[in-house]
Structure 1
Amino acid sequence: MRWKRIQSISSSVSSAHDFENEQELENMYDYLIKLIIIGPSGSGKTCMLHRFVKNDKVVKFGAGPRKKRIKLQLWDTAGQERFRSVTRSYYQAAAGALLVYDITNHDSFTSLPSWLKDTRALASPDVVVVLIGNKSDRNREREVTVNEAMGYANREGISMLEVSALTPHLIDDAFLLVARQILGKIELGHIDPNLPQFGIQYGDDGMYDWPTRGSLRGTFMWRKDYMRWSEYLRNAIKKDDNISDSNRGWGCLC
């Protein structure tokens, strides 16, 4: 009986140790990437962010030494775009950007060039931008066709997806696509994580070198203290997958 109890205690200690090891591994990453979400007011940027963080899951690509772990540091405008007051520090050293518009509002689409211009002027030298058509579940109210959006994306040399807050896997695809393309540029040598202007850091080093909430005057940032998530991405450029139509329903109105 005593042996069984000792065995049970030993097993519990071992399980606790394994859990601590798993937690430690979960907090480790190869790269820390600054990713901003931009676009006109009402396009659903914050809803996208909340949906992605709510899922909070680890996705694995590749195996063995080819596996890379990416931690995304996400920045949201917190409504500043309504007052045309998005600061330079918001764009500074951003390695990637989601350029979001509302497919049911053509005006939101026509405003995108100014957002893209600011991003390319103020973010990192080789910033990765992905065009996101939000609220795809409201297809009957559509004002921006897929062909029109794809034509704009092709002219600007960026990828394009349509998403909906009702289909979490599509939201995940948007963030993962940006991270995947950034990782590909790192591996090809187009981006050097050793240079701070690219907005990428190795491991946990320098995690808090970027401005805090207060210095951004209202712009908030999802940091390690608030939300944690890691994405395993393949150490190669993967061909972008086409996104199928989403289920129909009510869209995100924020």
Structure 2
Amino acid sequence: MPQNFLFKLIIVGDVAVGKSCLLLQFLERTFVPDHDVTLGVEFGTKAFVLNGQQVKLHIWDTAGLETFRSITRSYYRGAAGALLVYDVTRRQTFEGLHEWVQDLQKYGTPDLVVTVVGNKCDRPDRQVSRDEGEMFARENHFNFFECSAKTGENVDEAFIGTSRIILSAAEEAVGPEEPDDDVVKPEVEKPNNGGGGGCPC
């Protein structure tokens, strides 16, 4: 019988790299070119069927401003996955990824699934090549996608691909055998007989 899985995802990265626009594109298939800067955190949720299982994501879009860093770090706790976003047209946002990785390692769980996202790949004025992004992700054992929050390119793939890896680990943790009490596993909701896979937002 299919189970209902609830996963917490966080989106991190420098200010104005398009984190909120990626979330909006994933949830509502819309793009707002002049999106307000996130102050603190924003929240979104989406449910869908993945590998025959009901999956629900709670997604926390965190502020990139240094002013809010101490606040947003508290949202790392309990996260099963993270999208680490940079802007391919602003090299400094790529060079700043190391600092975000340190935060994820310090405040996140040891088994946190991280996907590096190079946003704004539709723009011709890029300063970071795809090869550089892939190399950074490979060196840190992260997943990698180049996306466009504007056109929607690879946005679903980034969120769903991250969820698929988390789900695979969760299914092993709650498999037919009794799981080890020491294993930290994502929250599993009881099956909802009337539940569908559509977005509740």
User: TM-score normalised by the shorter chain: which range applies?
Assistant: 0.7 to 0.9
Alignment of 1:103-114 (within 5 A): 103-114=88-99
Identical counterparts, % of pairs = 34
> Alignment partner of 1:109: what SS?
helix
CA distance in 2, matches of 1:40, 1:84: 11
Code of the residue aligned with 1:48 in structure 2: it is: L
- Cα deviation for residue 69 of structure 1 reads 1.0
Q: 1:80 to 1:120 in 2, by over 3 A?
A: same
Answer yes or no: is the 8 Å Cα contact 1:193–1:201 preserved in 2.
Answer: no
Q: Partner letter of residue 184 of structure 1?
A: S
Once residues 36 and 162 of structure 1 are traced to their aligned partners in structure 2, the CA distance between those partners, rounded to angstroms, is 18
Residues 61 and 91 (structure 1), Cα distance of their counterparts in 2 relative to 1, 3 Å cut? closer
**Aligned-pair RMSD on alpha carbons?**
3.0
The answer to whether the 8 Å contact 2:12/2:84 transfers is: yes
Is the Cα contact below 8 Å between 2:48 and 2:55 reproduced in 1?
no
Tell whether the 8 Å contact from 1:46 to 1:76 is kept in structure 2 after alignment. yes
Given candidates 128, 135, 144, the residue that maps to 1:160 is: 144
Q: From the superposition, tell whether residues 171 and 182 of structure 1 become closer, same or farther in structure 2 (CA, over 3 Å).
A: same
User: What amino acid is aligned across from residue 174 of structure 1 in structure 2?
Assistant: A
The structure where strand makes up a greater share of residues is 2
Q: Considering only CA atoms, is the larger Rg found in Structure 1 or Structure 2?
A: 1
TM-score (norm 1): 0.61
Compute the displacement of 1:196 (Å): 9.5
Q: Structure 1 CA distance, aligned partners of 2:96 and 2:84?
A: 11
In the alignment, what sits opposite 1:228?
Answer: 200
Q: Does 1:94 align with 2:79?
A: yes
Residue in 1 aligned with 2:187? Answer: 201
The equivalences for 1:29-40 within 5 A come to: 30-40=4-14
Structure 2 segments unaligned to the other structure (5+ residues):
30-44, 192-198
Task: Find 2:20's aligned residue among 46, 50, 55.
Answer: 46
On the 8 A contact 2:47/2:57 being kept in 1, the answer is no
- Judged with a 3 Å threshold, the aligned counterparts in structure 2 of structure 1 residues 84 and 145 are, in CA distance, closer, same or farther, namely same
Cα separation, partners in 2 of 1:59 and 1:74, compared to 1, 3 Å? closer
For 2:6, the aligned partner's letter is L
Matched residue, 1:128: 113
| Cross-structure match for 2:196 | none
Distance 2:64 2:114 in 1: 20
Separation in structure 1 between the aligned mates of residue 94 and residue 180 of structure 2, nearest angstrom:
33
Q: Compare the two structures and name the one with the higher helix fraction.
A: 1
Conserved 8 A contact 1:96-1:127: yes
Select 1:71's aligned residue among 56, 59, 81: 56
- CA–CA distance in 1 between the matches of 2:22 and 2:183? 27
The answer as to whether partners of 2:46 and 2:58 remain within 8 angstroms in 1 is: no
Unaligned runs of 5+ in 1: 1-27, 206-226, 230-254
Q: How many angstroms apart in 2 are the aligned matches of 1:194 and 1:81?
A: 38
Partner in structure 2 of residue 149 of structure 1:
133
